[in-house]
């Protein structure tokens, strides 16, 4: 009787219906399996348990995909029919309810882009420009010379970046793996960004230079929360690509190529939106800052003591930070409304979330030998991101304003240019990344020419072309790097692996500037730092050249299959 009941439940559950974005029904047919193993019970014999384990293992080893088949063009219903095929890393069916992962809609895609438009300005305008100047001015206003306490000292607080990197790493590990279970991904992405916005708004309360420590804490919190939110945003790229209409309509050997092209499009266009938003927000915030500093009533507020010891110049930049926060807050409306949760399997009951996240990351690192190409890509990105950051920080010493504005202005155009080149030439993501990193080597080479040539970042006119060139390469390198990494991570582990990706990105940002600074102090010539950068960029090119994407894809797929089996064993083996 119990076996008949199980069979009846399985037959009644053989077809699940959901509702797609247009309001029509999304019909999902599950694959028919002749003999599905029943849930293990304590009364089963050891032979039955072993037989059920073997059958379940065979079921987990099968590669099942869902092809989007519109058999009736006049009908709005979409029928997803499972079709057996060869191994592929882009499986739509993950033994999870497919009704929770409906095809991507235009509204959700636009909301994905709008998130970058709304939130990327916080990184470029606030963290790169305004907050650094504000903290520097506050610290300088609060400090006094040791010999004469009436003279303000020239003091900087660059050390807060180190605190941010360490705090960000702890935060990414604590929450990264949780986004791969249940519906945490969207909650974390939106929630942490709201926290970053709140921290930026709080900067308006800093009205005394003596409060520079509190201001530093607010900036640290904002950067950590922003980094965590963007980590989960990046993890949406492979998730949305897998349910994109182009990928669902593709079949056979074309599915992987279409999926790779789709991820490149999602990544590049989202960055274009982000850089365009940064330029627009820079203009709005800059206008507000200039207006507050130049309007007649600002001097009246200053005379009345409203700004206390901060000064109108610094406080106007704090208002500019709040303007960026308003920009982000308004833009979050559409992602909050239209981006789906797209939940994965929930954690087993009684699991401690934080302990699970840390143990999962540690376990993944310990199993690095199962995915050598994925971790080779992480190593390449660790060095590459540091080198690119160091190029910017080294070159920007020659002209802070020119290069600081030129790079963001041209990064969006560079993204579009390299995406067009890739489509036109049909080059792989790996090849495009190698080309762009190789082109970036020309910057330190050009800088070293200044030792013996009349050019090489010596004249002011050279600085703007250098900033434009750097910006064009920067956007493409960042976009293609995260797409290539997306190809090499196991499906269902996007949050966990992009947490590691963010750690390697932010965690390496201290190494290059430290070495260049030591070289400059020892030689009293900053150009020797370009020699170090040359060799630093050669290393990721070598690592990328050795990267076997095909094998990395298969390793990630095998990793995911083993992890699914382990989760099912813990959950009691689903029928």
Q: How far apart are CA 257 and CA 546, in angstroms?
A: 21
Q: How far apart are CA 519 and CA 527, in angstroms?
A: 9
* Claim to verify: residue 327 and residue 408 sit in the same structural domain: no
Q: How far apart are CA 539 and CA 545, in angstroms?
A: 10
Alpha helices, H only, 346-450: 353-366, 372-395, 400-425, 429-440, 442-448
**340: Cβ contacts below 8 Å, ≥ 6 apart:** 102, 108, 186
Domain-located, residue 574: no
Domain-located, residue 46: yes
Q: Give yes or no for a contact between 226 and 196, defined as CB atoms under 8 angstroms apart.
A: yes
* Claim to verify: residue 245 and residue 344 sit in the same structural domain: yes
The structure tokens listed for 531 are 């020699």
Q: How far apart are CA 234 and CA 116, in angstroms?
A: 10
Domain-located, residue 288: yes
The two beta strands, 15-19 and 64-69, are unpaired
Of 366, 395, 427, the last residue of a domain is 366
The two beta strands, 64-69 and 25-29, are unpaired
* Claim to verify: residue 433 and residue 565 sit in the same structural domain: yes
Of 55, 82, 102, the last residue of a domain is 102
Q: Give yes or no for a contact between 430 and 549, defined as CB atoms under 8 angstroms apart.
A: yes
| pLDDT attached to residue 547 | 95
The total number of structural domains that make up the chain: 3
Q: Give yes or no for a contact between 541 and 2, defined as CB atoms under 8 angstroms apart.
A: no
Domain-located, residue 477: yes
The structure tokens listed for 462 are 């050279």
* Claim to verify: residue 277 and residue 223 sit in the same structural domain: yes
* Claim to verify: residue 500 and residue 445 sit in the same structural domain: yes
Among all chains, which residue has been given the structure tokens 């400090």? Answer: 143
Domain-located, residue 488: yes
Of 366, 397, 429, the last residue of a domain is 366
| pLDDT attached to residue 211 | 84
Residue 338 CA from chain centroid, whole number: 19
* Claim to verify: residue 340 and residue 379 sit in the same structural domain: no
Q: How far apart are CA 474 and CA 410, in angstroms?
A: 9
Q: How far apart are CA 268 and CA 192, in angstroms?
A: 23
Nearest to 361 by CA among 126, 171, 538: 171
Write the CATH number for 519.
1.20.1250.20
Write the CATH number for 175.
1.20.1250
* Claim to verify: residue 388 and residue 320 sit in the same structural domain: no
Q: How far apart are CA 17 and CA 100, in angstroms?
A: 10
Q: Which helix (H) or strand (E) holds 18?
A: strand 15-19
| pLDDT attached to residue 427 | 94
* Claim to verify: residue 490 and residue 417 sit in the same structural domain: yes
HSE, side-chain direction, 13 A CA sphere, residue 518: 6
Q: How far apart are CA 56 and CA 45, in angstroms?
A: 17
Residue 488 CA from chain centroid, whole number: 15
* Claim to verify: residue 112 and residue 71 sit in the same structural domain: no
Domain-located, residue 44: yes
Per-residue pLDDT of the chain (575 residues; tens, 9 = 90+): 444 444 444 444 433 334 344 333 333 333 333 334 344 444 445 555 455 545 544 444 443 333 333 333 333 333 433 333 333 333 333 433 344 578 899 999 999 999 999 999 998 888 877 887 888 778 776 655 445 545 455 444 445 455 556 666 666 666 666 666 667 889 989 999 999 999 999 998 888 878 888 888 899 899 889 988 998 899 999 999 989 999 988 877 788 889 999 999 999 999 999 999 998 998 898 888 888 877 665 554 454 444 554 566 788 889 999 999 999 999 999 999 999 988 766 766 666 666 777 777 787 778 778 899 999 999 999 999 888 878 766 665 555 555 556 677 788 889 999 999 999 999 999 999 999 999 999 999 998 888 888 888 777 778 778 888 988 998 899 999 999 999 999 888 888 888 889 888 876 666 777 788 788 888 878 788 889 999 999 999 999 999 999 999 999 988 888 877 766 665 554 44
Q: What is the domain range of residue 85?
A: 2-102
| pLDDT attached to residue 229 | 92
* Claim to verify: residue 109 and residue 14 sit in the same structural domain: no
| pLDDT attached to residue 87 | 33
Domain-located, residue 327: yes
Q: Give yes or no for a contact between 552 and 560, defined as CB atoms under 8 angstroms apart.
A: no
| pLDDT attached to residue 350 | 65
Backbone torsion region of residue 573, taken as left when φ is above 0, otherwise alpha when ψ lies between -120 and 50, otherwise beta: left
* Claim to verify: residue 448 and residue 346 sit in the same structural domain: no
| pLDDT attached to residue 182 | 65
Among all chains, which residue has been given the structure tokens 């490149």? Answer: 264
* Claim to verify: residue 87 and residue 115 sit in the same structural domain: no
The structure tokens listed for 166 are 């360490």
The structure tokens listed for 393 are 């920080």
Q: How far apart are CA 549 and CA 544, in angstroms?
A: 10
Q: Percent helix, strand, coil in the chain (nearest 5)?
A: 70, 5, 25
Alpha helices, H only, 28-82: 46-61
| pLDDT attached to residue 194 | 96
Nearest to 398 by CA among 301, 526, 295, 308: 526
Domain-located, residue 575: no
């Amino acid at each position: 009787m119990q076996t008949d009941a199980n069979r009846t439940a399985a037959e009644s559950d053989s077809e699940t219906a959901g509702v797609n974005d247009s309001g029509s029904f999304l019909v999902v047919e599950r694959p028919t399996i002749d003999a599905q193993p029943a849930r293990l019970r304590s009364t089963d014999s050891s032979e039955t348990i072993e037989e059920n384990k073997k059958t379940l293992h065979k079921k987990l080893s099968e590669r099942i995909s869902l092809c989007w088949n519109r058999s009736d063009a006049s009908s709005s219903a979409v029928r997803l029919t499972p079709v057996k095929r060869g191994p592929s890393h882009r499986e739509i069916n993950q033994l999870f309810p497919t009704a929770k992962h409906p095809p991507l809609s235009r509204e959700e895609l636009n909301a994905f882009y709008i998130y970058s438009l709304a939130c990327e300005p916080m990184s470029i305008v606030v963290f790169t420009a305004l907050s650094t100047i504000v903290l520097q001015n506050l610290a300088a206003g609060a400090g006094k010379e040791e010999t004469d306490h009436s003279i303000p000292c020239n003091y900087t607080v660059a050390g807060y970046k180190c605190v941010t990197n360490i705090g960000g790493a702890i935060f990414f590990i604590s929450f990264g793996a949780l986004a791969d279970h249940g519906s945490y991904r969207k909650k974390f992405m939106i929630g942490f960004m709201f926290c970053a916005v709140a921290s930026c708004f709080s900067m308006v309360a800093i009205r005394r230079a003596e409060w520079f420590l509190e201001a530093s804490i607010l900036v640290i919190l904002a950067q950590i929360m922003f980094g965590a939110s963007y980590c989960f945003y990046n993890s949406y790229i492979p998730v949305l690509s897998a349910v994109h209409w182009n990928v669902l309509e593709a079949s056979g050997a074309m599915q992987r190529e279409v999926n790779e092209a789709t991820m490149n499009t999602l990544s590049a266009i989202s960055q274009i939106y982000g850089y365009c938003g940064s330029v627009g927000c820079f203009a709005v915030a800059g206008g507000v800052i200039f207006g507050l500093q130049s309007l007649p009533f600002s001097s009246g507020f200053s005379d009345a003591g409203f700004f206390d010891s901060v000064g109108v110049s610094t406080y106007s930049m704090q208002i500019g930070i709040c303007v960026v926060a308003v920009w982000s807050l308004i833009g979050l409306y559409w992602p909050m409304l239209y981006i789906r949760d797209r939940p994965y399997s929930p954690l087993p009951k009684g699991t401690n979330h934080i302990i699970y996240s840390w143990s999962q990351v540690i376990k993944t690192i310990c199993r690095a030998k199962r995915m050598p190409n994925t971790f080779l890509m992480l190593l390449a990105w660790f060095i590459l991101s540091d080198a690119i950051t160091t190029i910017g920080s080294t070159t920007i010493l020659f002209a802070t304003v020119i290069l600081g504005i030129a790079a963001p202005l041209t990064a969006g155009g560079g993204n579009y240019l390299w995406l067009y080149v890739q489509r036109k030439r049909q080059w792989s993501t790996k090849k495009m990344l190698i080309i762009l990193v190789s082109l970036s080597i020309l910057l330190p080479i050009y800088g070293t020419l200044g030792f013996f040539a009349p050019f090489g970042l010596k004249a002011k006119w050279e600085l703007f072309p250098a900033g434009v060139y750097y910006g064009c390469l920067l956007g493409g390198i960042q976009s293609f790097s995260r797409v290539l990494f997306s190809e090499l991570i196991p499906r269902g582990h996007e949050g966990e692996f992009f947490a590691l990706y963010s750690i390697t990105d932010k965690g390496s940002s201290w190494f290059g500037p430290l070495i260049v600074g030591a070289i400059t102090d020892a030689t009293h010539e900053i150009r020797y730092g370009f020699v170090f950068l040359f060799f630093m960029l050669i290393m990721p090119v070598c690592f990328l050249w050795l990267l076997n994407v095909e094998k990395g894809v298969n390793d990630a797929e095998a990793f995911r299959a083993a992890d699914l089996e382990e989760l099912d064993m813990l959950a009691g083996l689903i029928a």
